[in-house]
Chains A and B, each alone.
Chain A
Amino acid sequence: MLNYTLRRLFTVIPILLVLIIFSFYLMRLAPGGPFTSERPLPAAVMANVLERYGLDEPLHVQLWTYIKNIVFHFDFGPSFSQKDRTVNDVIAQGFPVTLTYGFWSAVFVLVCGVPLGVIAALRHNSFWDYTMTGLAIFSQIFPNFVLAPLMVLLFTLSWGLLPGGGWNGGQWQYVIMPAVALGTSYMAGVARLTRGSMLEVLGSPFIRTARAKGLPERTIIIRHALKPALLPTLTYMGPVFVYMITGSVFIDVFFSTGGIGQDFIDGAYSRDYSILLGLAILYSVLTFTLTLLLDLLYAWIDPKVRSNM
């Protein structure tokens, strides 16, 4: 398994390189630049600005400098729009915010979604099942941009229970709404997935065998049925989790959390190349790491996968 992990780690380098080169050129295809403004800068001022940020060099030289600075200094360059900060500063400030509410959102999804699905499956075709399925479908049709304003309307304006936005160092009052708004539709997805696969597993021969052996129902469900039934949920949660912790643009803008989702938007509008590129790299490294972790988790759960590694 160590061998497998190392092999995977090595493939990431060329992938990242391709990604950097591709995004680097792609961004520059967009008309306008970081210093295009309503009042065009006088030529001499523009020349100084471009020189300061190295933007006067040919593109391939800029690219080479960029990669060199990352490899040798772990420096992702200066931000063009937030002139007092570097990309490292921006990510160091915004990522923990996004990670925090993304993490709690994922916890919310699993803690509510899995039990809902299991209960629905165990009480198949009963009142409980219909209620759970109904609830799941209901939450799935509420995307976060509908749910978030609705929550603010109720919890902030009507009942005055929670602040309408902000972060304030991550106090729990400020985390609840972003986490729930971000997670609700995924929670519904997880509940439905778990219900489906649980039903399938419960009907399979090895559960019948377990029952025939006279094992207690609780042991059957928790020790034998749950593990295989969670596999599809895990597959589903991998990319969802990456999405959650790298920040939903909508949640960050709407709740003014100060997370990195806001930087994606601002970076794109202001042509802040270094911010965008830095975030693209962060995003891909996270995707890669989490899928690797997920694969290892798979192997731990499913012996069939383990033997193939």
Chain B
Amino acid sequence: MSSYSLAAISFVLFSLAAAGFLTCGSLVRMLMFLELMLNAANIALVALGPETVSQAYAVMLFAIAAAEAGVGLALLITLASVFKTLEAENIRELKG
């Protein structure tokens, strides 16, 4: 097994998540796919990096993902209460 195969697994996951992010219109789904993209990046880090260092960075990325999900969902709930929609197409103003 070459490192290329390991990298390919994470690249496929990343691209599928990117495809979902670009094709879905709902903000909740977009955030879900964003998390999956971060997850795929984490897999590449663990699979290709030196053992201890890459795993230490992966632990830190877990915390970043948790922080991102927290802020993202708070933002979504605020957007939903202001615009009464969670479709990205219907939210056109930056200042709600």
- Whether chains A and B associate is no
Q: Which residues of B contact A (CB under 8 A)?
A: none
Q: Which residues of A contact B (CB under 8 A)?
A: none
